[in-house]
A = this chain, B = another copy of it.
């Protein structure tokens, strides 16, 4: 898929069909994350790849809106080192993975792991690292409901679609 098309057509996908990702597609997703740039090239991330159903069901309990992890073919948990730009840089790596997936027809959605201590215990993540986010990956379910945790998405999201460019872009100064 064309890069620009992948970027502007990419949307969160929360409902997946029961179809695994091939090893090759998974490898592309992980390589995409690996190649992200970072401050001083610190690469402040580690990725935990989770596919076992039992583990996915446990991860669902680590976030308030994490139900989409349950039916994912693969979940990538992002573990980060502390650092001023680690969160920003992890966002870059996450976006790379989600776009590489999208280009293969694979949807994805990020889940905040609000209950970090629980996620840490389940996954065995060392105490000096953060584990705040996970990404579900899977083939999109056709005609899936526009819901989040069974509720209309309008109840959860700040807005639908994106703000107009005129509203978010300033020229030369604020």
Binding site for B on A (CB under 8 A): 1-8, 10-12, 27-28, 30-32, 34-37, 39-43, 45-52, 55, 79, 84-85, 87-96, 98-100, 102-103, 110, 112, 123-126, 133, 156-160, 162-163, 165, 168-174
Q: How many copies does the complex hold?
A: 2
Q: Which residues of B contact A36 (CB under 8 A)?
A: 95
Q: Are A55 and B8 closer than 8 Å at their CB atoms?
A: no
* A interface majority secondary structure: mixed
Q: Please judge, given known A-B contacts A2-B2, A157-B40, whether A174 and B48 are in contact too, CB under 8 Å.
A: yes
Q: Please judge, given known A-B contacts A7-B35, A43-B163, A49-B169, whether A79 and B174 are in contact too, CB under 8 Å.
A: yes
